[in-house]
A and B are shown apart, each in its own frame.
Chain A
């Protein structure tokens, strides 16, 4: 069964450092998403990406965050200068294109990257 792959599974970084979280979405999917989940809290939407541009972002996704699809398979989330409060599980998700170019609404999630900011 095709799956969303995320690397690394755990990233430890010092406050103020830049991190890049990597995702390989399911191969025929065209819509990509990043979510985060702070320990003990709900899953929160960060950003959606389609056709090489951001289609929607939440208020959490401020200037320290950026996303990129550097090649045909990877989708990355960069956090420019990490803060203690960025410590969370980051999930990548993808969905397929349905009829008339509209995304199918079922999103498949990767296993996540646990980011620990010290």
Chain B
């Protein structure tokens, strides 16, 4: 099982700012890509899937660069409630287990 690398942070960002973080994955056979969010001592929750063409969901934008094996997440107009750990996740096929990065810890400050 190949690896997913993320900057662990923490990223300390003022409320309302834009923040971006990214991850790299080593398995070139990876086919599906996700950002999950994990609050302290809670389960991972799907934030968004990441598509090759890039995709946006409200204040969140995800990008995928298959050639560089790089995934990014941009959060605009950050809210206090965005404080969490953001997990970069990849998998090869639909039924495969997910490979998680260690996560990037984001702290939004008032």
Residues of A contacting B: mostly:
strand
Task: Give which listed residue, B42, B49, B96, B103, contacts A111 with CB less than 8 A.
Answer: B42
With A56-B97, A103-B94 given, is the CB distance from A45 to B1 under 8 Å?
yes
Nearest B residue to A49 via CB reads B95
**Chain B: interface size category:** 20 to 34
Among A14-22, A35-43, A64-72, A74-82, the stretch that binds chain B is: A35-43
Q: Is the C-beta of A55 less than 8 angstroms from some C-beta in chain B?
A: yes
Which residues of A lie under 8 Å from residue B34 when comparing CB positions? 106
Task: Report how far A112 CA is from B45 CA in the complex, Å.
Answer: 12
Number of interface residues of A (CB under 8 A): 31
Which residues of A lie under 8 Å from residue B41 when comparing CB positions? 89
Interface members, chain A 22-36 (any B CB < 8 Å): 31, 33, 35
Nearest A residue to B31 via CB reads A105
Task: Give which listed residue, A44, A47, A89, A105, contacts B94 with CB less than 8 A.
Answer: A105
Which residues of A lie under 8 Å from residue B100 when comparing CB positions? 42-45
Q: Is the C-beta of A107 less than 8 angstroms from some C-beta in chain B?
A: yes
Task: Report how far A58 CA is from B44 CA in the complex, Å.
Answer: 19
With A91-B43, A105-B32 given, is the CB distance from A42 to B101 under 8 Å?
yes
Q: Are A106 and B1 in contact (CB under 8 A)?
A: no
Q: Are A35 and B95 in contact (CB under 8 A)?
A: no
Q: Are A104 and B94 in contact (CB under 8 A)?
A: yes
Task: Give which listed residue, A41, A46, A48, A59, contacts B102 with CB less than 8 A.
Answer: A41
Task: Give which listed residue, B43, B91, B95, B102, contacts A50 with CB less than 8 A.
Answer: B95
Which residues of B lie under 8 Å from residue A95 when comparing CB positions? 94-95
Which residues of A lie under 8 Å from residue B96 when comparing CB positions? 48, 56
Which residues of A lie under 8 Å from residue B55 when comparing CB positions? none
Chain A residues within 8 Å of B, Cβ to Cβ: 31, 33, 35, 41-48, 50, 55-56, 58-59, 89, 91, 95, 98, 102-112
Q: Closest 5 interchain pairs by CB?
A: A45-B97, A103-B95, A103-B94, A109-B43, A43-B100
